[in-house]
Amino acid sequence: MLANVCGMNLFLSYTGHLLKDFGNYALLTSRLVRQQALAVAESAGRPVIHLQSPAVNKEEVALRVAAEDRVKEGIIAAITAVESCPGYDVRSDREKGLLELYHRPRKCQHVYIYRIHPTFGLMYSRLATWFPFNIHIGINGREWLSRQMRAAGIEYLRRDNCFVRVGDVARVQQLLDEQVSFDWEKSLGDLGRQINPALRSIVGDYNISYYWSIDQSEWATDVLFKRREDLERLYPALLRQGMESFAAPEVMRFLGKLPPSGAMSGKFAGEVISDLRRREEGVRLKHRVNDNSLKMYDKGPVLRVETTLNDMRDLKAPRVVEGKVVYRPMRKGVGDIKRRAQVSAASNSRYLEALAAVQTPTPLRMLVDHLDRPVSWKGKSVRGLNLLGEEDSGLCAAAGRGEFLINGFRNRDLQRLLFAAPAADEAEQRRRCGQITRKLRMLRAHGLIHKVPHTHRYLVSEKGRAVIAAISAAREADIETLARAA
């Protein structure tokens, strides 16, 4: 209620505070919030550290204090810093002759509390001490998982934010999945009362509580290699595949943006960016669609693919409206956390599947053997494929585009890609439709695609992905490269 102008005006009216007195009231309330927030740390005997610059790494400060004081559980320290925040102010509307409350960015003191939580492990909270007293909470799922594994008696080896070995992978995955179905509303509500104990006295008899939403989520899928050397040999090819083969439509599809021609039809007004960055621990490839991103990097013997979601407007979640399931824009609130996890996991899975075709131990001759020969399918003879020819290789490349990874493709999708201009008339449209139908029958007969049941859509098979990736590489490779490979 306090986070919007309308609700804040109602609150001031309910509690009898005039707009002309808002400045003094807000200042006194801010001091109360700061005092009681810091008192939580002081009563636990923990230090309060004031930082002159918000640029100082607060987690490093907290970890140093925890090491020096050997803190194993509970509050480590309170850290204060003056930082930007959304806030309120009052101005005069001369036309109406009235004062009005309005939103404006401002600066106020923020209280950070670093603690070792019995469930979450190392975490932090950030409380803005000016109306509407926003709280940010930072939780690391792998920190939490470490505590879960210790409680379950599962052996593991952790390096930084990565598990390079776990004793029981299936059981650990179950523990990680439990985090999604956790009672977030209750747990965050309990934390909120500890972080801002003054709220109760500020709102009085009015039931005004925090609304908990996910500002940013990171969902990673880790592929564990037995030996670091195996990943080191494979990783350059994965980077090359990611940079050369995943253009804007593919990246949008990985991240679940559904309009099939959004990036190329003029309906998509955002940015799609891919970039490589060398870090101390390795090379990171990142694809970004507006404020959401998908990245891949190596961490020792672990290949990590990670989806980061900030903007939910492009994503959908099911809701029940008048007894029917309909899809609506996904909310940032914790009520949609399960759907958010599903979307992120699917994004990682699609990306890994697209990468999986980059390297195969199967020789090319075995992969494409018999594809050039006629086959019998549903009682009819279907010609073989000329995979190095322009027509058939173009057909396979169109079917294997990343934009079709989620929902597959239809006859009309291939028409759009394989014909340079729209059909001149209805007769030409029918001719093209029949031509593409015969091509789809050919790909199905050779096992490169399969039909999605009860639809007019098709998906590339595992065999098809491997063949398409191999033929694409072969067509682009020079003779010297092929000779060395042979």
Q: Do the domain assignments include residue 146?
A: no
Domain count, the chain: 3
Q: Do the domain assignments include residue 163?
A: no
Indicate if 337 and 235 belong to the same structural domain: yes
Give residue 287's domain range.
218-356
Beta-carbon count within 10 A of 204 CB: 9
Q: Hunting for tokens 């390096």 — which residue is that?
A: 159
* Domain of residue 434, CATH code: 1.10.10
- How do beta strands 48-50 and 74-93 pair? parallel
Q: How far is CA 244 from CA 248, 250, 347, 358, 405, in A?
A: 11, 11, 19, 12, 17
Which residue among 180, 195, 212 closes a domain?
212
Q: How far is CA 69 from CA 20, 45, 73, 74, 112, in A?
A: 48, 11, 11, 12, 18
Amino acid type, 141: G
Q: Which residues share a beta bridge with 273?
A: 288
Indicate if 37 and 175 belong to the same structural domain: yes
The reported pLDDT for the residue numbered 265 is 44
Q: How far is CA 307 from CA 118, 188, 235, in A?
A: 27, 23, 19
Q: Do the domain assignments include residue 149?
A: no
Which residue among 159, 185, 212 closes a domain?
212
Assign 292 to helix, strand or coil. strand
Q: Which two tokens stand for residue 227?
A: 């030996």
Cβ-contact 219, 153 below 8 angstroms: no
Distance in angstroms (rounded) separating the CA atoms of residues 42 and 49:
11
The reported pLDDT for the residue numbered 269 is 57
Please give the full DSSP string across 199-219, using - where no structure is assigned: HHHHHTTS---PPPB-S-EEE
Indicate if 341 and 382 belong to the same structural domain: no
Indicate if 406 and 450 belong to the same structural domain: yes
Q: Which two tokens stand for residue 61?
A: 């400060």
Q: How many CA atoms lie within 13 A of 318 on its CB side?
A: 8
Per-residue tens of pLDDT for the chain, all 486 residues: 899 999 999 999 999 999 999 999 999 999 999 999 999 999 999 999 999 887 899 999 999 999 999 999 999 999 999 999 999 999 998 888 889 999 999 999 999 999 999 999 999 999 999 999 999 999 999 999 999 999 999 999 998 889 999 999 999 999 999 999 999 999 999 999 999 999 999 998 888 889 999 999 999 999 999 888 888 888 888 887 777 666 655 666 677 654 434 444 445 556 667 777 776 666 888 888 888 889 999 988 999 999 999 988 778 888 888 888 888 888 899 989 999 999 999 889 988 988 887 655 566 777 777 888 999 988 889 999 988 888 888 899 888 887 787 678 999 999 999 998 888 889 999 999 999 999 999 999 999 999 988 888 999 988 888 888 888 777 777 777 667 766
Distance in angstroms (rounded) separating the CA atoms of residues 286 and 305:
10
Q: Do the domain assignments include residue 151?
A: no
Which residue among 356, 380, 400 closes a domain?
356
Indicate if 342 and 370 belong to the same structural domain: no
Q: Do the domain assignments include residue 156?
A: no
Q: Do the domain assignments include residue 162?
A: no
Indicate if 121 and 223 belong to the same structural domain: no
Q: Do the domain assignments include residue 147?
A: no
Distance in angstroms (rounded) separating the CA atoms of residues 357 and 370:
20
Indicate if 202 and 251 belong to the same structural domain: no
Say how many Å lie between the first and final Cα of the chain, rounded.
69
Indicate if 281 and 192 belong to the same structural domain: no
pTM here? Answer: 0.73
Indicate if 383 and 451 belong to the same structural domain: yes
DSSP state of 419: -
Q: Do the domain assignments include residue 55?
A: yes
Indicate if 370 and 314 belong to the same structural domain: no
The reported pLDDT for the residue numbered 443 is 93
Indicate if 182 and 249 belong to the same structural domain: no
Distance in angstroms (rounded) separating the CA atoms of residues 102 and 431:
62
Indicate if 15 and 120 belong to the same structural domain: yes
Distance in angstroms (rounded) separating the CA atoms of residues 227 and 100:
65
The reported pLDDT for the residue numbered 270 is 60
Q: Hunting for tokens 């593409």 — which residue is that?
A: 436
Distance in angstroms (rounded) separating the CA atoms of residues 117 and 122:
6
Q: Which residues share a beta bridge with 306?
A: 220, 295
Cβ-contact 47, 61 below 8 angstroms: no
